[in-house]
Every structure is written in structure tokens, then in C-alpha cells.
Amino acid sequence: RDRQLTGTFGTETVRVPRARIENEAGKITEWRSKALPRYRRLTKKAEALIAAVYLAGTNTRRVKRALFGLFEGAVSKDVVSRAWRKVKVDWDAWSTRDLAEEDIVRLILDGTVIKTRLDRKATNISVLAAIGVRRDGQKVLLSIRNMGGESTAAWSQFLADLDARGLRRPEFVIVDGAPGLEAALVALWGGDLPIQRCTVHKHRNLLGHAPKRLHDELSEDYRDMIYADSAAEIETRRKAFLRKWKLKCRAVADSLEEAGDRLFSFTRLDPSQWKSARTTNAIERLNEEFRRRIKTQTVLPCAETVPMLLWALLASGQIQMRKVDGWETLSQPLEPMSLDLAA
């Protein structure tokens, strides 16, 4: 029997012998080659190459054109799609893996809305993501899922999955400020869990409460407060910020007070960690990389493809996660909150 096999060498015709085997019970079965399994038309190297080009942000039609010369035109859109679907096997294994052995001391949680095309229609996909920081400072993606929104129920289900897979209670959590997320965290790990609201998200929120003519002044005052060199200086500048903006734009002052001490939880850490502990930027970068690549995709097959593509950027090595700043002091215990938040 002749079979067509496509690899990095091109397309070749392979002759596969046929035979029948009779077992001890007299049952006759057809012999099958283990070297060339039934229905295999691509070598593993060819499948990996197609998937890698697809993951680089190229749609199926462009993959076909790009690899036309190498595969002598044997790569159809269906072949590319099948190679991509094989990636899902690894995705399924990763998304259900045991987390009990992960020594996570810090957890970064954020949700984002990704605009893409499903069934040729523009669609908003809500994606929730969790990045853990190991005790040695290395960041690692723990989970990324399409949960349909950022409600308390959605975050509770997302966190319950991490808990069920063995993730231990972290020592410090950084969040985007969504009330549903904070409520879900408290319900799972208790009200004494140290939670840090992302200072970048809060900055955007404050700007939304102020007229545009005040944005530059507001940003300068906010950054002077958040990026002060010591907890004592942050406390002083916070009080000055509130006194000024209660008179200038009351909604801004109210929004800052609403955040409470969770906007300043990073001051409980060693100052060397402040830069990495103030924001959810590690997840924001994943989102930015995905948006850049998704522009080249015409239509995605389903909503599940969105988190899978985000994961694949890391799995394929296209995005490297470095250690957090100040990782050498991650083992130090948290200090009590020293800020006096009375205005």
C-alpha cells in the first residue's frame, strides 16, 4: 500500500506492507505499522513547524502560502487547522495539572476583555488570568480561562479550580481592583489575606472621575504619592492629596478613599519589592502581546481559542517571564500596615 508522507524533506511516497496476523485463539487481525500510524500524513517535525508558524501570529491561509515551497503545496488549510488542534492536547494537560508542588508566595490576578472575531462577528471575550511568583522570584502562568465575565461568581469558580488543583494560600495577592475578585478572594482565603490593588488601574479610575483639564495635575499628584521613597512619605503625600482633591474634585478624593489600605499593601514588603508588587503589569503584557498577534487572525474557531493562544505564547517560548524585582527578599515576612489612613 502506498502512502503519502509530508515532512521537512517535502512529500514522499512510502510503501507500507500489508499483512494479516493470526493470534493463538485463531483470531485474524490486520497488521498495522507503529512507525507510520494509520491516517498519519505529516511527520511530527512538520506538525511542530506548522504549529510554530501559526503561533507566531499567522492565519491558516498565510501558513499555507509560507510553507508552500517546503511542503510542495501539500499543506492545505485543513492540514494547518489539524496541526493546531494537536496543540490543544497539551493545553488540556496544562490547564488541569496539579499545582500542589508549586511554591507560590505571590499571586497576580487580572481580568481583561479581548475583542476578536468568532463566526465572522466581532466578539468580546472576557479572560481571567493568574500568574504565580515562586519563592525564587520566577513568574509562572498558573491558569487562564474564559469565564464569561468578572463577576464574583466567575472569579469564585476560577479560584476554586486553582484551589482544587492544590494551590496553597499565597502570602500576598495583587488584583486589578474588581470588587467581584476581592469578594471571591476573601470568601476562599479569609479577610486577613494581604491584597494589593493595582495602582495603575486605580490611576485610570481616578482620571475617569476628573475633567480632562485636570488630568495632568492629578497624574502628577498621584505619582508623587505612589512612588514616594518611604511609607512615611507616602502617608504624608496621601493626606495632602486628599485635602487638595476634596476641594478641587470631590469624586477623585472619594475614589481614593474607597480603595482603603489595599492600595498601599505593597508598603508592608521590603522596598526592593515595591516596583513589582504595585501592579498587575505581568498579566497586562500578556494581553498586549496577544492583541498584537490577533490582528493577523481572520476568524477564531471558538472562544476557548483565546486563552489557549495566550498560553501558547508562553509555551512556545515567544514570551519569557523573568524574575520579579526584589526576589531576594521574598522570604521576608510581611510587616504590619504602618500607614495612618485617617485624612
Distance of CA 20 to CAs 29, 33, 35, 40, Å?
Answer: 6, 12, 17, 20
Decide if pLDDT at 161 tops 90. Answer: yes
Q: Quick count: other Cβ atoms within 10 Å of Cβ 179? A: 12
Decide if pLDDT at 112 tops 60. Answer: yes
Instruction: Name the percent of the chain lying above pLDDT 90.
Output: 50
- Mean pLDDT for all residues in the chain: 84
Q: Which residue in this structure is represented by grid cell 512556545?
A: 316
Identify the pLDDT of residue 222: 98
Helix (H, G, I), strand (E, B) or coil at 104: strand
pLDDT digits (tens, 9 = 90+) for 245-287: 999 999 999 999 999 999 999 999 999 999 999 999 888 877 7
CA distance 22 to 163: 51
Decide if pLDDT at 33 tops 90. Answer: no
CA distance 128 to 266: 23
**Contact residues for 257 (Cβ-Cβ < 8 A; gap 6+):** 242, 343
Find the helix or strand (DSSP H, E) in which 86 lies: helix 77-95
Identify the pLDDT of residue 315: 74
Read off the pTM. 0.79
* Cβ 172 vs Cβ 147: under 8 Å: no
- pLDDT-derived band of residue 104, with 50, 70 and 90 as boundaries? very high
**Most confidently predicted of 85-99, 132-146, 279-293:** 132-146
Decide if pLDDT at 76 tops 90. Answer: no
Decide if pLDDT at 52 tops 70. Answer: no
Decide if pLDDT at 39 tops 60. Answer: no
